């Protein structure tokens, strides 16, 4: 079975500082991995995805993530945090099912950006 672990339910950074949100996965097959962002009272928005092409994936809003098979990790980074980045971030692994791809999510990391 696939699973995702997000270390740190809350992360706080200063504006302009590096953002690092951690995600480790467990999968019996080569995984598809995703990062989603959720702003208050809004749906999930896809930030980026890894689907077995380049291991360094660039997404929207300056975020990127690197797939490291040896470490079973897919950490999310952004060089310089902005106030608008404050939100909850979810890492997810995709499981192929009946022609579809159901997502297994981590418990999320709430990012706070301080002045």
Partner 1 sequence: GAGVSQTPSNKVTEKGKYVELRCDPISGHTALYWYRQSLGQGPEFLIYFQGTGAADDSGLPNDRFFAVRPEGSVSTLKIQRTERGDSAVYLCASSLRGNNEQFFGPGTRLTVL
Contact positions vs partner 1 (CB under 8 A): 4, 32, 36, 41-46, 49, 51, 90, 92, 94, 97-108
Instruction: Yes or no: say if 76 and 13 are a contact pair by the CB < 8 Å rule.
Output: no
Residue with smaller CB distance to partner 1, 67 or 90:
90
Residue with smaller CB distance to partner 1, 56 or 99:
99
90-102 burial, b at 16+ Cβ within 10 Å, e below that, comes to bbbbbbeeeeeee
Least gap, CB of 84 to partner 1 (angstroms): 19
Least gap, CB of 14 to partner 1 (angstroms): 25
Measure the CA–CA gap between 31 and 17, rounded to whole angstroms.
Answer: 30
Q: Report the Cα 13 to chain-centroid distance in Å.
A: 17
Residue with smaller CB distance to partner 1, 41 or 70:
41
Measure the CA–CA gap between 99 and 62, rounded to whole angstroms.
Answer: 32
Residue with smaller CB distance to partner 1, 42 or 70:
42
Measure the CA–CA gap between 95 and 51, rounded to whole angstroms.
Answer: 12
Least gap, CB of 15 to partner 1 (angstroms): 26
Least gap, CB of 58 to partner 1 (angstroms): 15
């Amino acid at each position: 079975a696939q699973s995702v672990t997000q270390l740190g339910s809350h992360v706080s950074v200063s504006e302009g500082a590096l953002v690092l949100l951690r995600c480790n996965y467990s999968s019996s097959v080569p995984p598809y991995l995703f990062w989603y962002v959720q702003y208050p009272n809004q749906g999930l928005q896809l930030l980026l995805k890894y689907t077995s092409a380049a291991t360094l994936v660039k997404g929207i809003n300056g975020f990127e993530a690197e797939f490291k098979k040896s470490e079973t990790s897919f950490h999310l980074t952004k060089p310089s945090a902005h106030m608008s980045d404050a939100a909850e971030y979810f890492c997810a692994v995709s499981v192929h099912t009946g022609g579809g791809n159901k997502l297994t999510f981590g418990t999320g990391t709430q990012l706070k950006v301080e002045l």
